[in-house]
Chain A
Amino acid sequence: MTAASQHGGPDATSARAATLSGPSVRSVRSRLRSATARRVAFGYLLLAPAGLYVLLLVGAPFFFSLYLAVTDATVADPVANFVGLENFRAALESDVFWIALRNSIVFLLVAAIFKSLLGTTLAFLLLQEFPGKKLVRGLVVIPFTLPVTISVLNWKWMYDSQFSVINWALNAVGLIGGYGSPSWPIWLGQPELALGACIAVNVWRTFPFSAIVLLAGFTSVPPEILDAAKVDGCSFLQRFRHVVVPMIFPILMVGFLFDTVFTLSDLSVVYLLTGGGPANATKILPVLAYQVGIQAGALGRGAAIALFLVPLLLPMLYLMLRNIKRREY
């Protein structure tokens, strides 16, 4: 429908309407209103499958998990009793919960620092023109595109206690002693090394994502603006700080928030590498929620632990929402 037709202009729809029902303005208007109603009804009909799926299998489960969290439901006993905030209290009183919370936050922050450093450097390099750029870009993003469990298994093999290829290389250049000597690191078996080893895998997997998001931001800055700033006598750092960063900030934010949500809630890296061990050194909230909820069968307890992620994620979702909306209008 065009603007002209809405004002009763001489386009095909209203012309046909006119021939059918005579030159009555009221009938044209009512026809148009029913066309609008039909369009809206059709629209909601098209939206219904996706909307229902999401409501039934994301919305409803989310509220169901709120319900589970205040009951004593277990895998074995589906008849649940209301226990109030008992599950949350139990979580807050257990040491392992606080260890998991601390590990989750350390994991998130340390990984974010390394990802942004590596990602920014790589993005600047990929911003250059050079022969073979497409190939290099394609190869360097492979860590991000490999299915996560597959690359984590690969790292588990590289961290092997006895046949670690990393240790072989460190030993070959003389940084560590042979297998069995005290300086031979067992990456996933020593509490002081294990969390770092897990963080390294997360960084390895996602630094290409940071780089590509940044690159998308950089290339969205019109070169004329940078040239103008250059002509005005801005140095490289000034241009970066006052022109590039404000312009790419929204994209940067979305990429950052996206990564935060996925890093904070990811179970696979730690679960497959260490299962949360040794001695809870790598226990993070998702692993704890899985072990309590499924392996120990305490659905209510597990749901309560998983829900502790919500206050951590909520500010992220809020910021993201604000960002998307601001860019739109």
Chain B
Amino acid sequence: MTAPQTHAQKERRRLIWVYAGLAPFLFIAMLPLYWMIVTAFKQNQDLYRMDVFPLWFNLAPTLDHFRTLFYQTNYGAWIMNTLVVAAWVAVITLLAAVPAGYALARLRLPGAENAGIAIFMTYLVPPIILFLPLSRVVSMLGLQDSWWALVVVYPTFTIPFCAWLMMGFFKTVPMEMEEAARVDGCGYLGALVRVVLPVSLPGMLTAVIFAFTLSMQDFLYGLAFVSPGDQKPVPVGVPTELIRGDVYYWGSIMGAALLVGLPVAILYNFFLDRFIQGITGGVGK
């Protein structure tokens, strides 16, 4: 060993090690996304050749793929479907999950703990076991081949998750306020509507975000229940409609993926910690 290191030197060495360790992770995580972005803006002559450096533009970038998407496919309709389905799912989820979370967390119901766990467990019943019987339900309701089918089935996973999330949330809201309200003459409903709900807006916003982002992770239900090309949401429409036989329009596919995937990923990113808390510690606080 040479002369003893100063504190600053040690710190610099530690940082170098940390960044060096993180670099491969960032590379693995970001490269596919980067490739998606570059692909979406490349001209086809630039895209389908192997003799030049592929990770940058060898010809001028283009918006052609996006034009194709909006003028020659149902992409615009898929975006609308996605948003409308998400809005309905969010409304249904809120109407069911917020009262349930409140009841389980605050009203000291007999068996509340077990009921809460039972509801959360249903989140873990995989769609692959439910989709065949649900296809019967969907056709009984006359909703096959329309995005309404998804409005009915997506809450099967968003309600359990969000009820669990809201239950954890309501446990952190101080109890005294609603008691004061109740003593002042509000009934249980009055206390809930006037005192508890206003302070619960952040929790409800989180539930809405998850109703949306969890719906975006579905593929099976959309694939099984919605076949008309103009009824699909984006995550189902892109893989099923933009791939025609063996012909892949990679530029358009990546453009379509990017335009919706990136905002969803960013939104989800902000709420990821809540998601992790939700599944690991909704109760244990």
Contacts and interface: CB of A to CB of B under 8 A. Distances in A.
Interface string A310-325: 1001000100110011
> Which of B115, B129, B160 has the most chain A CB atoms closer than 10 A to its own CB?
B129
A44 B103 contact: yes
B70 interface: no
Interface centre among B103, B110, B220 (most CB of A within 10 A): B103
Interface stretch (A54-62, A186-194, A229-237): A54-62
Interface in A88-112: none
Contact of B129 (A39, A138, A310): A310
A145 B265 contact: yes
B15 interface: yes
B264 interface: yes
B127 A255 contact: no
B261 A150 contact: yes
A118 B279 CA distance: 21
Interface in A289-311: 289-290, 293-294, 299, 302-303, 306-307, 309-310
B8 interface: no
B68 interface: no
Interface residues of B, number: 103
Nearest to A157: B250
Interface string B249-285: 0100110010011101110110011001101110110
B100 A46 contact: yes
Chain A binding surface, main DSSP class: helix
B14 A50 contact: no
A50 B159 contact: yes
A279 interface: no
Nearest to A299: B132
A18 to B, nearest CB: 15
A104 to B, nearest CB: 11
Given A47-B99, A130-B19, A328-B283, A268 B156 contact: no
**4 shortest interchain CB distances as A-B pairs:** A265-B126, A50-B100, A46-B99, A43-B107
Interface of A: 1-2, 11-13, 38-40, 42-44, 46-47, 49-51, 53-54, 57-62, 64-65, 68, 78, 118, 121-122, 125, 128, 130-131, 136, 138-155, 157-158, 160, 162-163, 165, 168, 171, 179, 204, 208, 212-213, 216-217, 250-251, 254-255, 258, 261-262, 264-265, 267-268, 271-272, 285-286, 289-290, 293-294, 299, 302-303, 306-307, 309-310, 313, 317, 320-321, 324-325, 327-328
